[in-house]
Structure formats: C-alpha cells, structure tokens
Amino acid sequence: MVGSSHEALHRIFQKDPALLTRALQRVLHVPFPEPREIAALNVDLTEIEPIERRVDTLLRAETDEGTYLLVVESQGKTDERKRGSWSYYLSYLYEKYRCEPVLIVITQSSATARWASRPIRLGFPGWDSLTVRPLVLGPDNVPVIADERQAEGDVPLAVLSAMTHGRGPQAAAILKSLASALRTIDPDSAAVFVQFIDSCLADPQAKQMWRELMTAIQYFWRHPLAEQVREEGREQGLEQGLEQGRAEAKAEMVLHILEWRGIPVPDSVRERVNACTDLDRLEVWAQRAVRATNAAELFAEE
C-alpha cells in the first residue's frame, strides 16, 4: 500500500519508468534521448564501509553577508576524477554545516589552471542538475611580485607569488624581493614561509638560488632546514666562519643570478665578485644582477 502523497509522487515512476522520460519530453520540453532500457536501482545511498575523503584545507569564513566554507585544493595536474570528488566535497559540506561552500583550486601549472577553471556540469547537457565552478589561482592570475616594497607590503602574497612563478623568467627578481621582505616579519613566521618556498621550487637552479639567499638571513640559521643548507655549505667551503661564509654565499648568489638569466660571466668579473668580502657591496651587486643586461653593469657606478 502507498501510504502518502510523498511515496505516490515518486513511486509512479517505479511502476512505469518510461513515464519519466515522456514527462521530461512533453511537459518540460527537455530533449532527453529515448532510452533503450530503464532499470530500477537500489535507493539506499548509505555507505556501509567508511570511505576516507579529505580536502586539502578547509576554512570557515564569517562575513557580514553570511558564513562560507572555503575549500582549498592544491592540484598538480589534470585529474578527471575530481569531477566527482569535488562535487561530493561541496555537497557533503553543505549538508553537514549548512553553510555555502566555495571551492578554490591552486596550481603552479597554467595548463592545469585552465583545466580546473572549466565548470563541472553533472546532468543532462543544457539542463545541469549540479554545476561546480572552481575559483582557480595559478601563474596566469597570481601577481608577479618582484619589487621589495610591494613584497614587504604583503609578505604572504609575495610567498604565493614565489610558489606559483618559481620556474618563470622573473623567478630571480621574485625570490630576491621576497628574501628582503622576510627580514621585516617575525622569524618564526618567516621560517615557515622559507619551508613553503623550498618545498615548491621545482627548478633546481631556483631552489639553489633560494637557499643561497637564505644563508644571508640571520634567523634562518636557527631553523631545522638550515642544517641541510649548512651541510651543503660545508662542502662548498663555507665552514671557514659564518661571516666569511655569508660573503662567499652572497658572491655565489650574484654569479648564479647572472648565469641563471643566461648572461655570460667573464673571468675578470667572476674573480672580482668572489674576492669581495663587503656584504653591503655584494648586496648592491645582487640587486643589479637581477636587472643587468651584461655582467659589467654590476660595477657601472663604481
């Protein structure tokens, strides 16, 4: 027996499944294709065995316009399985918290960013039952922060810039500006940012440059990551003393910036840079190396 209108309204389609497609076509004027076969499935959607599902980061934002759940997903490459998992995350979070979920995808790849920004449409084409529109942060829209003052004005944004543009042509200027900006914040926060950058830099030259930049920052030598850098430094002769080691590291940084940018370094320039022990002068040369068109411009005003 059918005991309520609720049951009757949906069970009629169990009795005659083809009625549903006829209703779509004739009542709603949806051009749903004629099915070759329709089969009734189990209506119980309970998951008997727990399935582990985790988002990368989940934040709750209270605003004057309401409460939002910010779902942050870090994506390295395209993955069509995300069509299902991202849709599931948002539906589940809304059902659990009754707050509007917002999906934010962050990537270091322009191709992945283009893929992730495409809307996920579930349902019949043109009459989507569910549409997911990810908000995507990547190399094409995260600003390039290569100016020290701009980096100091928003250090976390400068860190994000370095993480997303770490393999681009402006990486040297970005990392140099960020290294300077890190001196303006508390050492503990800076040390965390240092690790973020070190983990994200896939370009070996960029990572080496970043570690050389960090050797000149006092707080960094108190951080566990510094042990790895110090060990590498010992192999390069930096064990002769911290002060001398800083000068040698900064001199190498100057030369690395030029080489990384594809600028030839004559022996005379290399010898002069390596012989310098004045940290302030080396700092000036490093700033010039970021924008120089030839190696001789390091000493243009001297």
End-to-end CA distance of the chain: give it in Å, rounded: 98
Per-residue confidence (pLDDT) for residue 158, from 0 to 100: 92
Question: What span, in angstroms and rounded, lies between the C-alpha atoms of 147 and 180?
Answer: 10
* Triad 286, 290, 292: Cα angle to 5°: 100
Check: pTM over 0.85? Answer yes or no: no
Per-residue confidence (pLDDT) for residue 95, from 0 to 100: 92
Neighbour order of strands in the sheet with 135-137 = 57-63, 66-74, 100-106, 135-137
Higher pLDDT, 21 or 220: 21
Per-residue confidence (pLDDT) for residue 9, from 0 to 100: 63
Mean pLDDT of 159-171: 85
Per-residue confidence (pLDDT) for residue 282, from 0 to 100: 84
How many CA atoms are closer than 13 Å to the CA of 290, on its beta-carbon side?
Answer: 17
| Residue 278 CA from chain centroid, whole number | 37
Question: What span, in angstroms and rounded, lies between the C-alpha atoms of 198 and 245?
Answer: 21
Mean pLDDT of 141-154: 91
